[in-house]
Each structure stands twice: as C-alpha cells, then as structure tokens.
Amino acid sequence: MKSNILVTGAAGFIGFSLCRYLLEKGIKVVGFDNFNSYYDPILKRSRINLLEEISKQKSASFNMVEGNLQNASQLNKVFSDFQISKVYNLAAQAGVRFSLENPQAYIDSNIVGFCNILEACKKYEIENLIYASSSSVYGGNTNYPFQESQSVDHPISLYAATKRSNELMAHTYSHLYQIPATGLRFFTVYGPWGRPDMALFTFTKSILEKKPIHVFNNGQMIRDFTYIDDIVRSLYLLLFKPALPDKLFSKKDPNTSSSWASHRIFNIGNSKPTPLMEYIEAIEEELGIKAIKEFLPMQPGDVKVTSSNNDLLEKWIDFKPNTSIKDGVSQFVKWFRNYYKV
C-alpha cells in the first residue's frame, strides 16, 4: 500500500520546514533536492542533517534522494521505489532578480522539471499534488488585496511567468488525467532556517556586521510577510483536503481559482501588509542595533506592494496565518545567532 509523501526541494527553506513537521507527525517522507549553489549548499546540508537526526529520534521514516527534476527517469525511479502516494512540489529555481541574469535555470527547473513531476503523478496515479506557485504571478496588478479571481496575465519577471505556467500546466493535467492538484501562491515567507538571499536574512547579517543594508525603492515597499510555521501548518492541512471539482463552476463566467477539474489555487499570506521600513525597525529592535541604510531605486521585475486575501484558503482548511512580525522576526534572530554563533 502506497504511503510515502514526496517533498521536492526538501533541502530548501519551505521544503525542509515541511519535512520537519511531517516527520514529527510520524509521516513517512521522501525528500528530493539537487543541492544547487543558488545559495549556500552548506546550509542546505545542515537542514538535511537535522531531518535525519529527527527521523532517528522519532523513529520516523525519512529517505533523502539527491537529483534533478529535469532527469525524468531518475524522478520516476523515486516514485516507483518508494511507492509515493502524495506529492509536495516545492522545488524551483527561486528569486525574481536572478531570473534576469540566468533565465535558462528557470525554464529547466520550473517548466521542464514541473512537467516531469506532472508526468510522474499521472503515471503513478498520485492521490494529491500540492505545488508552490507565488504571489509574483499578480505582476502589475494594483487592486489590493490580491484575490485569486484577479487576472494574472501580466507577469513582470520570468520567475512569475514560470509560476503562472505551473498553474496552467497543473490544471491541464487535472482535467486530462484526474490528478487532484492545489497551487499555493506564497507571499514573502520568512523565519528560522530561511533563505540567505531574502531580506530578513541579508538585513540581519549586514546589521550585525555593521554593513549597509540595501533598501530598494527608497524604502517605499509593502510586503505581506508570512511566517514559516503558518505556511507549514497550511501545507499539512491541505494534505487531507485534496482539490475537488467546483460543482458551481461556470464555463461562461469562469472563476480563475477553481475549475470543473480537481484543481484549486489559493493565496497563502499573513493578510497584514507591512511597510518595509517597519519590518526593518522590527529587526533593529530585536538586534538592539540601528541599521546603516543605503536607499536604492526600484529593481527590475520587482513590485511595490503585495497583499493577500486569504478567505478562500481559510474556508478550505479552517486555518488562517496569524504570526505577528514581531514574534516572527524574534524567532528568526534567535535562530540566526545560534546557527552562526553570533
């Protein structure tokens, strides 16, 4: 009987955090990651080492496979060997700015790799596919807060375009092959074990080293910062709530968040948009150090505001992210000081 859960991107920030939660619940997990050098592979290895420690302590089943989503035969072997029943696809080439420098990496991982995931889900009759999309799909929209029913046909970065492509690809496979698939539009996830390329990590590191922090658009940015534990809790609950066809769906007046197929799209944010300068103040307060700020213009592909309407997700899983910025930043700084012995 198939019972293993596959988590791709298991060495990444969200993937690792989810694996940790699942193992503590006694769920059998198979991790898959290529440990690429987009950011410090040592941090990724440390995450996996911790997962292996937890699996021993909890007598839980954890198997880690190193490989690339682009390698279809390798991916299929994982599905076959471990009798995968459900899939979290959290592997992706992340980062809006990096997509301007290395677009091919996004096509390889986010398009080719995701197609291979879908093909494997079809072949092995997966019961539930949950995959990462992004708030970046809202592109140039300025109607806040963002709702899943809004048009997302105007991306402003290749990263965003690949994530929107994932949503369309997943819908197609749900329609053709009855694969229950749920896409999650993540809004600026942060917290312990976070990505070194993201603001909280870079700001904390620079402030402690008494180096300037880069504040884009002269600080006139607003983000719906979402704490990692809230993300993980939502992902866990979705494991038991696979997408279902929307019986009220109208092809004459289509709702972009649902379908006649077993495919759903949900925002997942904190629903409390925070000005960037307030976020920096929270970091300064926790560190007890004032940041040296270097104000810079807006970066290509970036957006000024993200704001999430979470109503659909809350109705679906009866849970709403609720961690405050103060508490979330505090937990990250404690982890950062401990991990880097600062």
Residues acting as catalytic residues = 159
Closest by CA position to 322, among listed 226, 213, 257: 226
Q: Are 127 and 242 in contact (CB under 8 A)?
A: yes
Closest by CA position to 157, among listed 219, 212, 75, 97: 97
What are the start-end ranges of the E strands in the chain? 4-8, 29-33, 62-66, 84-89, 128-134, 181-186, 189-190, 212-215, 222-223, 226-227, 263-268, 274-275, 292-295
Residues 6+ apart with CB under 8 A from 102: none
What are the start-end ranges of the E strands in 49-199? 62-66, 84-89, 128-134, 181-186, 189-190
Q: Are 148 and 257 in contact (CB under 8 A)?
A: yes
